[in-house]
Structure 1
Amino acid sequence: MNGSLFEPRLRDGDYIPRFFAYYYKQWHDYTMSYHDHHSTEIMYMISGFCRVDVQTGENVEESITLRKGEFIMLDAGVPHRLVVEGEQPCRMLNVEFGFTEGVRVGPSIRQMAAEEQEVTTLMSRPFPYLVLSDPEEVYYALKSLVLELDQRKEQPGAMAEMLFMQLLVRIARLREEAERSNTQQTDMYIKRCIEFLHLNYDRDIVVKDMAAAVNLHPGYLHRIFKKHTGQTLTAYLTMLRMDKARMLLQQTDIPIQEIADYVGVASRQYFHMLFKKHTGKTPVEYRSAVERNVRNYAEEDGS
């Protein structure tokens, strides 16, 4: 069967790993041709650094720089190539594996996934490639597996299967930890950005100012802000400014023609247009309605 970890049959039947290639290799000033495998491949960076180019779609290419202690896991059928430039060599450990039907001594992939929720999550969320930084847990499992395979060349036994299951669990758990960490970091960036907006809405600010305040690229901040809040940065800032304008119109005697300056909108005409779009009323209509409500309340209270 296909060597992809995302093959549905792995979750329905009983399959065990099948190993196609496993080797250490030191690369120096080398550019590999694009190729793909019927198997899943793990490329672990032991020392130095290199670049892996991956074709994730038609005319879509992504480049990943791997450094010591990082690894990339490539799904079956994904075109990729290794590029090593400069004088410094890089040393890697590669393992290519697929799956075959049956059960020996250890658990099948399906049975392991039933015991480990992280493995189930990993197998049910396909990716063309996965890059993770390893605290040496994956490397320990990977090199133990390769050593066992070298010693049992003819027929890898139960030990190789168990070491592979350990490797799979460690990768799945590491991915969960990385995603939790990324989520926490994203939450922090969004919180800081929102604080910046609340502290600076009265100024003429644009997306690059917001990004500089939290040390992120404007495009990246725009994407994570929209995903986290459901609004663009500009839409959130406009909403904040109109809410402040509504408060000032309702609770102060600041002249209407000056409110735009208080909320950081340079053009009064543009402010009037935004305010009506946000509230359904012009600033004059809004303040008049507030004053009318106050008078009515005072008259009712006096009666």
Structure 2
Amino acid sequence: MSFYDNDLRSEPYYPVVKFYYYKEWSQFEMKPHAHEAIELMHVLSGSCKVETKTDSYQLKKGQIIFLDANTSHRLIVQEKCRMFNIEISFQQGRTAFPPFCEVYKENEALRLMIDNKKPHMLLHDSDDTYQCLRRLIMEVDKKSQQTDFMVQLLLSEYIIRVAGLAEINYTETDQQYTSRVISYIHQNYDREVSVAEIADAVHLHPGYLQRVFKVSTGTSIHEFLVSYRMKKAKAMLAETDISITDIPHYIGMNSQQYFSTTFKKYEQCTPSAYRKTHQYNDKLRRKSEDIKHSIER
């Protein structure tokens, strides 16, 4: 039964897990084939290619391919690829959990996905989606009637989360990509981080992401990262007694010379001169041991 069958929108059906497995493929080419069930492949490590009659998708860790029922496809693995596959179908009837048609009516992302009727699509996985899938499989493995409700609950949640990933594909704007880059920098400025790594995290080509970010902010990703590190350095100089030689290690700049040169370029003074000018209130200062303790927590 297709994910887009009209009966699913109006008749009482519920989703079921037909089959699932973990598998590491190595230098493998699968013959074209199709399943009666809907199939989702989560790439856990490595990379692979999935070909349909009309498109070819290159997948890597953190990506999913959605294949509607009866969609002809084949898997190609040049080196190694570990993945998790799950096949889902629908059965008519009612359970203790609301039927799929009710879930469809209540969830906007699910309605959007079904209305778009794409037989196959590449999605970028999220930790929430994969963790939901893992909880679902744990319940399925119990093979107990007492877990039926939980399976229905988690399977419906999984489908909704997949629909949410599809919605991002339809609607994500350049500004949203820029916001994700800024959020990533805020969470990772304290270590070495490259534009290629950031682009991989937001699932865009580095060159395209650079252009999008420049248009949105007026500055490059690298310049924004350095500027944010200088902002953090100024706060540490003014509000803590962390040694100036240690501060670079807190902001992902492991060279003291590079830190001092960069700081002077941005602030027109040395870090020590900035501290003398701005660290005037002892009540604002915190011991470096307190900083380290809060980071370790």
Fold agreement, TM-score > 0.5: yes
Q: Which amino acid aligns with 2:116?
A: R
The residue that corresponds to 1:102 in the other structure is 93
Distance 1:214 1:98 in 2: 38
Size of the aligned set, in residue pairs, is 181
Once the two structures are superposed, what CA deviation does each residue of 1:164-211 show, in whole Å capped at 9, x if it has no partner?
A: 11011111122222322257689xxxxxxxxxxxxxxxxxxxxxxxxx
CA–CA separation in structure 1 for the residues paired with 2:169 and 2:74: 25
One-letter amino acid of the structure 2 residue matched with residue 51 of structure 1? K
Measured in 1, the distance between the counterparts of 2:135 and 2:208 equals 42
Q: Which consecutive unaligned segments of at least 5 residues does structure 1 have? A: 57-61, 187-212, 216-303
Q: 2:58 aligns to what? A: 65
**SS of residue matched to 1:85:** strand
Provide the secondary structure at the position in 2 that maps to 1:28.
Answer: strand
Query: 55, 79, 84: which is aligned to 2:77?
Result: 84
Displacement of 1:32 after TM fit? 0.6
How many angstroms apart in 1 are the aligned matches of 2:45 and 2:73?
20
Distance 1:82 1:155, change over 3 A: farther
Question: Any idea what SS the aligned residue of 1:53 has?
Answer: strand
- 1:141 aligned to 132, 137, 145, which one? 132
RMSD: 2.5
**Aligned in 2, Cα 1:135/1:152: closer, same or farther, shift over 3 Å?**
same
Aligned residue for 2:255? Answer: none
Q: Which residue of 2 is the match for residue 113 of structure 1? A: 104
Distance 1:121 1:214, change over 3 A: closer
Structure 1 24/107 Cα, relative in aligned 2: closer, same or farther at 3 Å? Answer: same
* Cα 1:46–1:94 shift into 2, 3 Å: same
User: Is structure 2 residue 40 aligned with structure 1 residue 42?
Assistant: yes
Tell me which residue corresponds to 1:74. Answer: 67
CA 1:110–1:97 in 2, change beyond 3 Å: closer, same or farther? Answer: same
CA distance, structure 2, for counterparts of residue 37 and residue 183 of structure 1: 36
| Pair 24,153 (structure 1): closer, same or farther in 2 beyond 3 Å | farther
Partner of 1:249: none
Q: 1:172 to 1:214 in 2, by over 3 A?
A: closer
* Residue 152 (str. 1) matches residue 143 (str. 2): yes
Using the alignment, how far apart are the partners of 1:156 and 1:77 within structure 2?
A: 29
Give the match's secondary structure for 1:168. helix
1:175 aligns with 2:166: yes
Specify whether residues 84 and 214 from structure 1 end up closer, same or farther in structure 2 by C-alpha distance, changes over 3 A only: closer
How many angstroms does 1:156 deviate by? 6.3
TM-score norm. by structure 2 comes to 0.57
Change (3 A) 1:185 1:92: same
SS at match of 2:53: strand
Tell me, what secondary structure is at the counterpart of 2:14? strand
How many angstroms apart in 1 are the aligned matches of 2:173 and 2:67? 21
Q: Distance in 2 between matches of 1:38 and 1:154?
A: 25
**1:128-277 pair list within 5 angstroms:** 128-152=119-143, 157-182=148-173
Consecutive unaligned residues of structure 2, counting only runs of 5 or more, are 178-206, 210-297
